[in-house]
Amino acid sequence: MGIDSKIEWTEATWNPCTGCDKISPGCKNCYAEGLALRLKAMGQPNYRNGFKLSIHEHMLDLPLHWKNPKTIFVNSMSDLFHAEIPFDFIVRVFGVIRTAKWHRFQILTKRSERLLNLDRKLEWPSNIWMGVSVEDKKHLYRIDRLRNCSARTKFLSFEPLLGSVGDLDLKGIDWVIVGGESGSRARPVNPDWVREIRDHCQSEGVPFFFKQWGGTNRKRTGRMLDGRYWDDMPKY
């Protein structure tokens, strides 16, 4: 699994780990959990444990076989900074990223405390884009921890956006993604919450990417905000 991701802001996914557990409200209707259980039912070997955290040694060198440059989302089905992922394995993931210097790798975590705790122990390749997920105002502290890590490119994912984030400090942030929740149990997103973040990005010159409105039919609700698509990306 990897080539041709359907996620709008990336091109491919790479999952040397799968599985996770829920730590905040944004995790409630986790898309990866449902997908992992479907893949288990289909007999996909990497998901024999369903959504229980699993490490897949055989997946480590996958990006080295992709010779054309790609933007790759790392662990779309897990969280690289999960407490149960050994530090040595994270180092090996970073080593593959360093070797595959023709790709760009996007890492996204909700576990900003471990990210910051491990920061000085890691050698950060310049082709990593490091991000944190923030679903509402209560979790803005993750941004401060991201800001203090050593990644060259830093980004935020407000998805699923569950409330207004209020005053947003984007100092040191290179990119912002916003999206509503999708699926049968999707919680609604208020357009003004999205506009609030977009306006902060515009005033501070930060690229803004609007992924989706979501809901029970994400194709019908679409991706347009105020009459246009917002697909800005960092220039790195």
Quick: pLDDT tens for 140-185: 999 999 999 999 999 999 999 999 999 999 999 999 999 999 999 9
Domain layout of the chain by residue ranges = 12-221
Tens-digit pLDDT profile for residues 42-68 = 999 999 999 999 999 999 999 999 999
Tens-digit pLDDT profile for residues 2-38 = 567 889 999 999 999 999 999 999 999 999 999 999 9
Which residue type sits at 178?
Answer: V
SS3 182: strand
User: Would you state the structure tokens that stand for residue 210, as one six-digit string?
Assistant: 């609007």
pTM: 0.96
d(CA 44, CA 50): 10
| Sign of the CA dihedral running 89, 2, 43, 214 | positive
